[in-house]
A and B are shown apart, each in its own frame.
Chain A
Amino acid sequence: MKERKILLAEDDEMLASLLQFWLEKEGYEVGIVSNGLEVRQSLEKALPDIIISDIMMPYFSGIEVVGHIRNDLKANLPIILISSASNDENILNAFELGANDFLSKPISPSELLVRVSRALKAVNTS
């Protein structure tokens, strides 16, 4: 079975490393970027199967990344947002722009796995 590619955008190195370890252990191919600009550059090269992005990031926020993917790239790939500040307005804004799911910190790696697999299944079904 072909490995699913995940682009993980997280500025906290330790958390990014932990999630990468956990996701790779579950059989995903994980690429890590630490800010919004790197996300854009990475997306120009190749589109992953799913994006997991923090909202609060340098250069471009997670919400701006969602807007860029949906409006500029017109890509339909699933996006899961992570944030420590559960700002309702931000979350609603992200969902309006086309985010598929949201997780608030502290996150449970097991829960993240479940959500990732569900989002990928939803894309396959559609």
Chain B
Amino acid sequence: MVLGTLYFFFIFFFKRKISLNFQKLSVKKKELAPIISNFLFHDGEGPVEEQKGYIQLKIEIRDALKNHAFRKILSEILLDLEKDVSGETRKKLHRLYDELGLHLDAYRKLKSWRWEVVSQGILELTQMQRVDAYPFITKFLNDRRSAIRKQAEISTVSLRPEGISHFLDTTRYGISEWQQLKIMEELRDMENFRPPRFATWLISRNRDVVLFALRLMRHYNQNNAEKSIIELIKHKDDHIKSEAICCIKEFCMLKALKPLKAVFRSCSEMVKIEILDAIATLGSESEIEFLLKVEKQESSFMVRTKALTAINDLVPDTIIPTKDIMSKFKKDAKDRLDKKLKGLVKKAKEENNAVEDSGEAPIENSIDDELLADIEVFEIDPLTISIEEEEQEENDEKSMALDHDKTDFEIGPIEQGLDDAINTQLGLVNAEVEEEQKPQGENDLKEEYQKMSPPEREMLIDTLEVSNSDRDIPVLEDLIEQEESSESGFRIFKMLKNLKSPSKEIPPVEEEPFYDSKELLVEANDSIFFPLFEYATDQVSRMALLKEMVSVGDERDLAMLEELSQDGDPKLAKQAKYAKEKLLEKLTSEEPLSEEDHEQSTIRPVTNEKEESHSKELEDMALADESGESEEDRLMPMELCFLHDEFGIGPSRKEDDELNFELADEFFLHQDSTFSEQKETKKNG
């Protein structure tokens, strides 16, 4: 009870005291306001009475200044007023402060042991622009009391233009973000401030000074320290790295692209995103290869997303939405994207090759060297760095491996397929991953087959027999290795033999069919030439294939020829149309042949001279189109050599005498005579 009463009494007492002081101050201010106004706006040109009044006021105030409390109140009033007025009035206020000798009180405050008094003294001297206080204030720059230190920093910077240089030179403590902003604001408000060359402090041992110097460089557009800034992206501090990257972006330092890519792996997620952003800003199409690699290998979702965004920033619409796209449109999207990416990456590779040819070290090789580079001023131990980096790399690899196992988001089949396609085509996937993945798929099949029961194996073999497709050959080869049963093994062996043997590919014509191209029941991909056509990318090879289709083709090739006759390439379409007509003619006119005869007819390359001349003509046209081709290029591609091996079909060009796989001329003469006899017999009979 007593304690409670005492507590409330003290509260009431102190509240009353504060209130009275406030009222007293208010009254004093009202009294002093006209005096101060008079001092401030006295011009010495008024009437004599006014001059007399002014002198009287001066005498009164000099007497009043002997009172410490009065001086304190006067200081407060002047400091308050200083914030509200500008221009000439402010300068007059500063002069008045000096004339009244109030600055001496502020100097005395600097000697106080209380931090708030010292800080107040520094603030007063700074606010009243006492430049002579500069050397006294700079002594507090490395004061252990942060309130004093921070006030001294701002005062040093604002009192003299060279203050910022002195501050950056001498400060040993950290500079908070807020403090950096306040100092920058002070610099901005300074009249006639000429910023020094802030690159000087990029070698400072104080981390915050380096960071602040980078920010100031960016603020004042000082792009005269390219090498230093690029070197700082290898700094161990993420904030400095980030700020350096911001500078690189701001000053468009294209030379930094290579180092940025080199340090990418060793950076944190935040810095990686900034690096990708910088690449997106500064880079060209040649960076797409790197970005695709990042997208493929990076474990962080944000980094991967940023990589994709960067690709689209460099070349808009390169990456198009694939997620949740309706399946019937997927193929189109995939093809389009695949084509575009192929082109871009091919270009990028060419550019990179050009760089390599010009003598510059390739990026990958330079990574380790550049990472091991030391920045002497930061006392980075190369050994530590290399160990840290190795650990980082190991962690990265581990996290990536883990990420493959437990991905947080779904990867659609098209994306996966696309990734695989791109990486297979471009060799972007590293060898280790590829080696790991490939045997895995094969092993899965083998393991599954081993786990199967005999009836299940029989069913699988039955299915393969029904499908009877070339694409099953690798599967069959795997299965035959695994199969222990002699019966099943024999069946697989028989299938393999049939699929591999040339006679299988060209089934005998059983009866004379009637073909209408519009009513074809077979599809283009039923033709045995379909995969070959897909494989042959150049026009010459395709023309050669069309030519061979006339001689060895059957009814299954008609659909494909029909489709090709509507191809965008007019020469190809023309040749396909011609081949289709000839094939139809051949199929409709021919008598059912015996198996032996058919075999003989299939290996005949050209049916008559007219066809040969026409084919030759078309081929020459195609060859003429491909300008700048050497004689070597004109030869049949290696990919088609299996035609010679498996079908015994050789090129019809006469100049290839050395590579003549054709049958002897006598044989053709004999065959020609046989065919002509047969035709005559048919016509007559």
Decide: A107 near B41, CB < 8 A? Known: A17-B34, A18-B36, A21-B34.
Answer: no
Decide: A13 near B37, CB < 8 A? Known: A18-B81, A109-B89.
Answer: no
Cross-chain contact A15 with B34 (CB below 8 angstroms): no
Cross-chain contact A108 with B88 (CB below 8 angstroms): yes
Partner of B85, one of A17, A20, A109: A109
Residues of A within 8 A of B40 (CB): 18
Cross-chain contact B81 with A108 (CB below 8 angstroms): no
State how many angstroms separate the Cβ of A21 from the closest Cβ of chain B: 3
Cross-chain contact B89 with A108 (CB below 8 angstroms): yes
Cross-chain contact B41 with A108 (CB below 8 angstroms): no
State how many angstroms separate the Cβ of B186 from the closest Cβ of chain A: 16
Cross-chain contact B80 with A14 (CB below 8 angstroms): yes
State how many angstroms separate the Cβ of B87 from the closest Cβ of chain A: 3
Residues of A within 8 A of B29 (CB): 13-14
Partner of A106, one of B34, B41, B86: B86
Cross-chain contact A15 with B84 (CB below 8 angstroms): yes
Range for the number of chain A residues in contact with chain B: 10 to 19
Nearest chain-B residue to A111 (Cβ)?
Answer: B87
Nearest chain-A residue to B40 (Cβ)?
Answer: A18
In terms of DSSP, what is the predominant structure of the interface of chain A? helix
State how many angstroms separate the Cβ of B380 from the closest Cβ of chain A: 46
The number of residues on chain B lying at the interface, defined by a beta carbon within 8 Å of a beta carbon of chain A, is: 22
Q: Does B566 contact A (CB under 8 A)?
A: no
Q: Does B30 contact A (CB under 8 A)?
A: yes
A76 to B278, CA, bound (A): 57
Contact with B along A79-121 (1 / 0, CB 8 A): 0000010000000000000000000011111110000000000
Residues of B within 8 A of A21 (CB): 33-34, 37-38, 41
Contact with A along B66-88 (1 / 0, CB 8 A): 00000000000100111111111
Residues of A within 8 A of B85 (CB): 15, 18, 106-109
Nearest chain-B residue to A15 (Cβ)?
Answer: B84
Residues of B within 8 A of A106 (CB): 82-86, 90
Q: Does A28 contact B (CB under 8 A)?
A: no
Q: Does B469 contact A (CB under 8 A)?
A: no
Nearest chain-A residue to B88 (Cβ)?
Answer: A110
Residues of A within 8 A of B86 (CB): 106-108
Q: Does A45 contact B (CB under 8 A)?
A: no
In terms of DSSP, what is the predominant structure of the interface of chain B? helix
State how many angstroms separate the Cβ of B36 from the closest Cβ of chain A: 7
Residues of B within 8 A of A17 (CB): 30, 33-34, 37
Partner of B26, one of A13, A108, A109: A13
State how many angstroms separate the Cβ of B138 from the closest Cβ of chain A: 27
- CB contacts under 8 Å to A, within B20-36, are 26, 29-30, 33-34, 36
A106 to B30, CA, bound (A): 21
Decide: A18 near B87, CB < 8 A? Known: A13-B26, A25-B41.
Answer: no
Contact with B along A20-55 (1 / 0, CB 8 A): 111001000000000000000000000000000000
Cross-chain contact A14 with B38 (CB below 8 angstroms): no
How many contacts A-B (CB < 8 Å)?
Answer: 61
Cross-chain contact B41 with A22 (CB below 8 angstroms): yes
Residues of A within 8 A of B81 (CB): 14-15, 18
Decide: A105 near B87, CB < 8 A? Known: A13-B29, A18-B36, A18-B40.
Answer: no
Cross-chain contact A14 with B83 (CB below 8 angstroms): no
- CB contacts under 8 Å to A, within B24-71, are 26, 29-30, 33-34, 36-38, 40-41
Q: Does A64 contact B (CB under 8 A)?
A: no
A107 to B37, CA, bound (A): 15
Cross-chain contact A13 with B88 (CB below 8 angstroms): no
A93 to B187, CA, bound (A): 32
Cross-chain contact A108 with B33 (CB below 8 angstroms): no
A28 to B81, CA, bound (A): 22
Residues of B within 8 A of A111 (CB): 87
Contact with B along A60-87 (1 / 0, CB 8 A): 0000000000000000000000001000
Nearest chain-B residue to A16 (Cβ)?
Answer: B33
Residues of A within 8 A of B30 (CB): 13, 17
Nearest chain-B residue to A12 (Cβ)?
Answer: B84
Cross-chain contact A13 with B41 (CB below 8 angstroms): no
Decide: A108 near B87, CB < 8 A? Known: A13-B26, A21-B34.
Answer: yes
Q: Which of A14, A25, A111 has the most CB of B within 10 A?
A: A14
Residues of A within 8 A of B83 (CB): 105-106
State how many angstroms separate the Cβ of A36 from the closest Cβ of chain B: 19
State how many angstroms separate the Cβ of B469 from the closest Cβ of chain A: 73
State how many angstroms separate the Cβ of B226 from the closest Cβ of chain A: 38
Residues of B within 8 A of A25 (CB): 41
State how many angstroms separate the Cβ of B84 from the closest Cβ of chain A: 5
A108 to B40, CA, bound (A): 13
State how many angstroms separate the Cβ of A52 from the closest Cβ of chain B: 13
Cross-chain contact B84 with A13 (CB below 8 angstroms): no
A59 to B611, CA, bound (A): 105
Cross-chain contact B84 with A105 (CB below 8 angstroms): yes
- CB contacts under 8 Å to A, within B369-402, are none
Cross-chain contact A14 with B77 (CB below 8 angstroms): yes
Give 7 A-B contacts (CB < 8 Å), ordered by A residue: A13-B30, A17-B34, A18-B33, A20-B37, A21-B34, A106-B84, A110-B87
- Chain B interface residues (CB < 8 Å from chain A): 26, 29-30, 33-34, 36-38, 40-41, 77, 80-90
- Chain A interface residues (CB < 8 Å from chain B): 12-15, 17-18, 20-22, 25, 84, 105-111
Known: A106-B90, A108-B89. 19 other contacts (CB 8 A): A12-B84, A13-B33, A15-B81, A15-B84, A17-B33, A18-B33, A18-B36, A18-B37, A18-B81, A18-B85, A21-B33, A21-B37, A21-B38, A21-B41, A106-B82, A106-B83, A107-B85, A108-B87, A111-B87
